[in-house]
Amino acid sequence: MAQTPKRPRDYGIQFGVLPTGPLNAITDVAGVRVGQVTLKQGQNIRTGVTAILPHNGNQFQQKSPAAIYIGNGFGKLAGYSQVEELGTLETPIILTNTLSVPTASDALIDYTLTMKDNENVRSVNSVVGETNDGYLNDIRGRHITRQHVLDAIRQAKTGAVEEGNVGAGTGTICFGFKGGIGTSSRKLPASLGGYTVGALVQTNFGGELKIAGVPIGVALGKFEFKENLDGSCMMVVLTDAPLDARNLKRLAKRAFMGLARTGGIASNGSGDYVIAVSTAYTIPHTTKNTVDEMKVLRNDNVSPLFMAAIEATEEAIVNSLFAAQTLMGDQNHTVEQLPVEKVVELLKKAGQAR
């Protein structure tokens, strides 16, 4: 079956109750940019890079409040400890494959050191997430270069975000089907603050696929313990709500609940991480002030954001599956795309699609 370009919502599939932003993408959060480099070369290279930039300034000099939540730690995420300790992000976020984390980290250091006003910088906490695409990609060849990472950063833009077999999702597998990059957003009503929450995911994990609560994996005969569907998921959540690192960690935990809604089980061999960032304010690297002054949202007002993160992450994961296409890669391994038309019929029977 030829892959349709339609997203799940085009079939009348609904995820939760909150409205999406105009693009239904992480770039609905104002100022956020995404850049992707895709490597599909010969018969065995199926990998790439996805870069997420919270703002268009110097990320090192104007740091963003941030937090990282570890759902299951079988992963190679770089930069965790400083974000955990200081609660700030000082580089763009890079997603790639497992064995390319050092290369991506090196590229982020290059990028940071060469920026104007960073001439005296001697420490860079590069944040790089990964999943293992070694079934479809010649991962041992380590084909990602520093230039690929720099290109992804420099190509980053606002607007629609390409999904499926692109960037860091080029060679990934999800629930036994072709996975990839997916994104979604939620826009809170004015009465709840009017804030936007956007999610972007790199899906490469297993479990029992559920879409809009319907047990699709069981119906299709693909689910954990029936086949080896181990793997990982990187989740990036951005919001324009004024949250500090503590409440961003709480927001990240709720995004992990979005993964659970899709049937992911955070298996033993899964590296499941959520990176949460606020774009509402920045924290200067150097200042004459001895006190940082900013207004942050009260605890009593964060619950709608929690719901938004759950819904956006759930939908982003399903979006990655609908967009991904059948792919042949290393050693002639082939992973089939989700049979979208069959899935839509199952959802229609369950009253979850038009």
Q: How many CB atoms lie within 10 A of CB 192?
A: 15
Q: What is the mean pLDDT of the chain?
A: 96
Write down the residue that tokens 């763009």 correspond to: 92
Q: Is the pLDDT of residue 228 over 90?
A: no
The set of catalytic residues is 232, 270, 272
For 249-297, the pLDDT digits (tens) are 999 999 999 999 999 999 999 999 999 999 999 999 999 999 998 899 9
> Which residues have C-beta within 8 Å of that of residue 72, sequence separation ≥ 6?
266, 267, 268, 270, 271, 272
For 168-224, the pLDDT digits (tens) are 999 999 999 999 999 999 999 999 999 999 999 999 999 999 999 999 999 999 876
CA 48, CA 97: separation in Å to the nearest integer?
7
pLDDT at 115: 97
Residue 316 near residue 211 (C-beta atoms within 8 A): no
pLDDT at 225: 66
> Does the predicted model carry a pTM greater than 0.95?
yes
Number of residues assigned to the chain: 354
CA 312, CA 112: separation in Å to the nearest integer?
30
The tally of CA atoms less than 13 A away on the side-chain side of residue 90 is 28
Domains of the chain are: 21-284+295-348 (3.60.70.12)
Q: Give 180 or 4, the one with higher predicted confidence.
A: 180
Q: What is the DSSP string of 248-293?
A: HHHHHHHHHHHHHHTTB---TT-EEEEEEEE-S--EESS-S-SS--
CA 312, CA 314: separation in Å to the nearest integer?
6
At residue 201, the 3 state secondary structure works out as strand
Helices first, then strands: H and E counts in the chain: 7, 15
Q: Output the CA–CA distances (angstroms, integers) from residue 134 to 27, 145, 172, in the order listed.
A: 29, 17, 8
For 71-123, the pLDDT digits (tens) are 999 999 999 999 999 999 999 999 999 999 999 999 999 999 999 999 999 99
Q: What is the mean pLDDT of residues 18-46?
A: 98
Q: What is the mean pLDDT of residues 306-329?
A: 98
CA 178, CA 337: separation in Å to the nearest integer?
5
Tokens representing residue 26 in the block: 């992480």
